[in-house]
């Protein structure tokens, strides 16, 4: 087995993941692309472990560690995404602009095509929720709020 | 690494199998980042991870392959599907899954691919790895983990526990801040 084949495949998978992270709008799709990138790294680790015949099996053991860390990362990431969804009613990255710098002109730049300013976060009035406590939600509520936010 | 490496052409049987699996993995990965239905993205991710597990099998890393099937295909994709359902993502076709910076992303992705592929081919064009079956089986790998890599293993278990507790704390709504 030539090392080029797995290395090139890993490079392709990694760049597909880079594209996905940059181009996707939904946070969960971004997380999927991150998983693709981690898998590319795993493939590299396995291939080079096989090539270098490491006596400690460093590459494959590190692959297992990366898989575990990816699982942990995904768990925490999805928990964060769900918390964001509870507060904002959206998980689309370019609608989450609270940390965007407002230029001296005044209006935040490009806050969405239809004037979707980040002020009222899907019905949550500003100044409410001072402790970051989640709104107790009815589970049927968010569909109209979500459609109206766009 | 080895002295008498065979040429790139003709490919051996393992290389042909690896190439086919690699085409499947890369193609379904492309579908993951381009499909218009978010649930289909998760399902294509299953295909991609499965093909990658096949690649690991061809590379004689069988334990890693089964761990890949168990954790990625089994757990990670199910977790992603739960996330999709819980965030009430649009289930059918939706045309706004891509953000506005798609051309820039395409440029960056293609540039990354070009740089990485040329570098890798220039660097490892002649490297040849002998495949010996059984090198990546559970027994040598387990012995290696529990003899040489015990400390990272234990640190990782603590990390996993911390991540688990963190995920629970983040996703529960009935435990708030201090006040």
| Chain segment A78-92, per-residue pLDDT in tens | 999 999 998 888 888
B103 vs A16, A26, A91, B11, B92, CA distance in Å?
14, 17, 22, 36, 24
**Strand ranges (DSSP E) for chain A?**
none
Helix A27-52 to helix B13-34 angle, to the nearest 10 degrees? 160
Candidates A14, A35, A143; nearest CB to B116: A14
pLDDT at position A139 is: 45
Chain B nearest C-alpha distance from A120 (Å) = 19
Q: Which residue has the higher pLDDT, A148 or B137?
A: B137
Chain B nearest C-alpha distance from A108 (Å) = 17
Q: Are B5 and A3 a contacting pair at CB < 8 A?
A: no
- Alpha-carbon gap, residue B158 to A88, rounded angstroms: 32
Candidates A29, A51, A71; nearest CB to B76: A71
Please give the ipTM for the structure prediction. 0.91
Q: Are B88 and A70 a contacting pair at CB < 8 A?
A: no
Continuous H helices in chain B: 13-34, 38-58, 62-67, 77-86, 102-124, 138-148, 150-171
Q: Which residue has the higher pLDDT, A121 or B64?
A: B64
Rounded to two decimals, the pTM is 0.82
* List of chain B residues whose C-beta atoms are within 8 Å of the C-beta of residue A14: 112, 116
pLDDT at position B144 is: 93
For residue A63 the two structure tokens come to 């692959």
Under DSSP, the state recorded for A106 is S
Candidates A71, A83, A132; nearest CB to B75: A71
Query: Using an 8 Å Cβ cutoff, are B81 and B40 in contact?
Result: no
Candidates A17, A29, A63; nearest CB to B64: A63
Dihedrals φ, ψ of A124, to 5°? Answer: -85, 115
Chain B nearest C-alpha distance from A12 (Å) = 6
pLDDT at position A128 is: 42
Section B129-145 average pLDDT: 90
- The mean pLDDT of chain B is 90
Among all residues of chain B, which has the CA nearest to that of A26?
B97
- Alpha-carbon gap, residue A70 to B71, rounded angstroms: 10
Query: Using an 8 Å Cβ cutoff, are B71 and A67 in contact?
Result: yes
Kindly state whether A8 is in contact with chain B, defined as any CB-CB distance less than 8 angstroms. yes
Is A2 strand, coil or helix?
strand
C-beta atoms surrounding B178 within 10 Å: 4
The fraction of chain B above a pLDDT of 70, given in percent, is 95
Query: Using an 8 Å Cβ cutoff, are A74 and A31 in contact?
Result: yes
- Give the model confidence (pLDDT) of B91-132 as tens digits: 788 878 888 889 999 999 999 999 999 999 999 988 898 888
C-beta atoms surrounding A115 within 10 Å: 7
- Give the model confidence (pLDDT) of B36-77 as tens digits: 999 999 999 999 999 999 999 999 999 999 999 999 999 999
């Amino acid at each position: 087995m030539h090392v080029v084949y797995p290395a090139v495949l890993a490079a392709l998978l990694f760049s597909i993941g880079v594209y996905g992270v940059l181009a996707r709008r939904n946070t969960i799709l971004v997380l999927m692309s991150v998983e693709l990138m981690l898998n590319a790294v795993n493939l590299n680790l396995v291939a080079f472990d096989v090539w270098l015949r490491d006596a400690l099996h460093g590459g494959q053991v590190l692959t297992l560690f990366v898989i575990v860390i990816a699982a942990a990362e995904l768990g925490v990431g999805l928990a964060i995404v769900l918390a964001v969804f509870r507060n904002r009613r959206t998980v689309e990255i370019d609608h989450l602009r609270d940390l965007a710098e407002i230029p001296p002109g005044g209006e935040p730049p490009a806050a969405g095509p239809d004037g979707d300013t980040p002020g009222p976060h899907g019905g949550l009035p500003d100044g409410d929720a001072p402790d970051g406590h989640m709104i107790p939600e009815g589970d049927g509520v968010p569909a109209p709020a979500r459609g109206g936010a766009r | 690494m080895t002295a008498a490496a065979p040429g790139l052409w003709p490919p051996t049987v393992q290389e042909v199998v690896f190439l086919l699996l690699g085409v499947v993995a890369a193609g379904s990965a492309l579908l993951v980042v381009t499909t218009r239905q978010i649930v289909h993205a998760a399902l294509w991710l299953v295909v991609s991870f499965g093909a990658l597990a096949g690649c690991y099998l061809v590379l004689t890393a069988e334990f890693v392959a089964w761990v890949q099937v168990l954790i990625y295909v089994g757990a990670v994709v199910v977790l992603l599907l739960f996330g999709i359902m819980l965030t009430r993502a649009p289930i059918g076709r939706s045309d706004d899954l891509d953000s506005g910076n798609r051309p820039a992303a395409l440029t960056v992705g293609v540039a990354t691919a070009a740089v990485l592929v040329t570098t890798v081919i220039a660097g490892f064009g002649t490297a040849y790895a002998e495949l010996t079956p059984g090198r990546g089986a559970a027994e040598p790998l387990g012995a290696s983990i529990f003899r040489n890599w015990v400390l990272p293993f234990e640190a990782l278990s603590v990390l996993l526990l911390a991540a688990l507790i963190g995920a629970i704390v983040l996703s529960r709504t009935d435990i708030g801040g201090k006040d």
